[in-house]
Amino acid sequence: MAQIEPMDLDQPAPPRARDVLARRLADIVGLPSSRLTPRERWIVADLLHDLLRASDETLRQRVAQRLSTLNEAPHRLLRMLATDRFEVARPILEDCQALTDFDMLEIVQTGTIQHRTLVARREDVSETVAAALAAYGEPEVVERLLKNKTAILAAPTVDHLVGMALDNARFAPLLIRREELRPAQAFRLFWGCDGTDRRAILDRFAVDRTILIDASEDIFPMAQAEGWSDPLVGRILRYIDRRQRNREAIAMSPFVSLEQAMEALRREGVRRELVSEIATLSGIDDRLMTRMFDDLAGEPLAVLCKATGLKWENFQAGWAGLGRSEGPIMDQARHVYDMLSVEKAQTVLRYWNLSHEADRD
Residues of the chain with pLDDT > 90, as a percent, come to 57
Average pLDDT over residues 205-209: 85
Please give the pLDDT value at position 220.
85
Q: Say whether pLDDT at 6 is over 50.
A: no
Cβ neighbors of 59 (< 8 A, separation 6 or more) are 18, 19, 22, 52
Better pLDDT: 193 or 72: 193
Cβ neighbors of 22 (< 8 A, separation 6 or more) are 48, 51, 52, 55, 59, 62, 63
Better pLDDT: 34 or 206: 206
Q: Say whether pLDDT at 359 is over 70.
A: no
pLDDT tens figures, 209-235: 778 877 888 888 898 888 888 888 887
Better pLDDT: 347 or 356: 347
In this structure, what is the dihedral angle of CA atoms 81, 86, 87, 93, given to the nearest 10 degrees? Answer: 60
Better pLDDT: 271 or 2: 271
pLDDT tens figures, 278-298: 999 999 999 999 999 999 899
Please give the pLDDT value at position 2.
37
Please give the pLDDT value at position 183.
92
pLDDT tens figures, 293-316: 999 899 999 999 999 999 999 999
The conformation of residue 253, written as its DSSP 8-state character, comes to S
**Per-residue b/e over 164-173, b at no fewer than 16 CB within 10 Å?**
ebeeeeebbe
Measured CA to CA, the distance from residue 167 to residue 57 in angstroms comes to 40
Please give the pLDDT value at position 20.
82
Contact 156, 131 (CB under 8 A): yes
Please give the pLDDT value at position 57.
85
Binned at pLDDT 50, 70 and 90, residue 335 comes out as very high
Contact 191, 166 (CB under 8 A): yes
Please give the pLDDT value at position 7.
40
Please give the pLDDT value at position 308.
95
Average pLDDT of every residue of the chain: 88
Binned at pLDDT 50, 70 and 90, residue 9 comes out as very low
pLDDT tens figures, 48-93: 887 888 778 888 888 898 888 877 778 888 899 999 999 999 999 9
Please give the pLDDT value at position 357.
64
Q: Say whether pLDDT at 34 is over 50.
A: yes
Among 19-28, 55-64, 129-138, 192-201, name the one with the lowest average pLDDT.
19-28
Tell me the CA distances in angstroms from 202 to 183, 297, 302, 312, one per residue in order. Answer: 10, 15, 12, 19
Please give the pLDDT value at position 337.
96
pLDDT tens figures, 111-168: 999 999 999 999 999 999 999 999 999 999 999 999 999 999 999 999 999 999 988 9
Better pLDDT: 86 or 243: 86
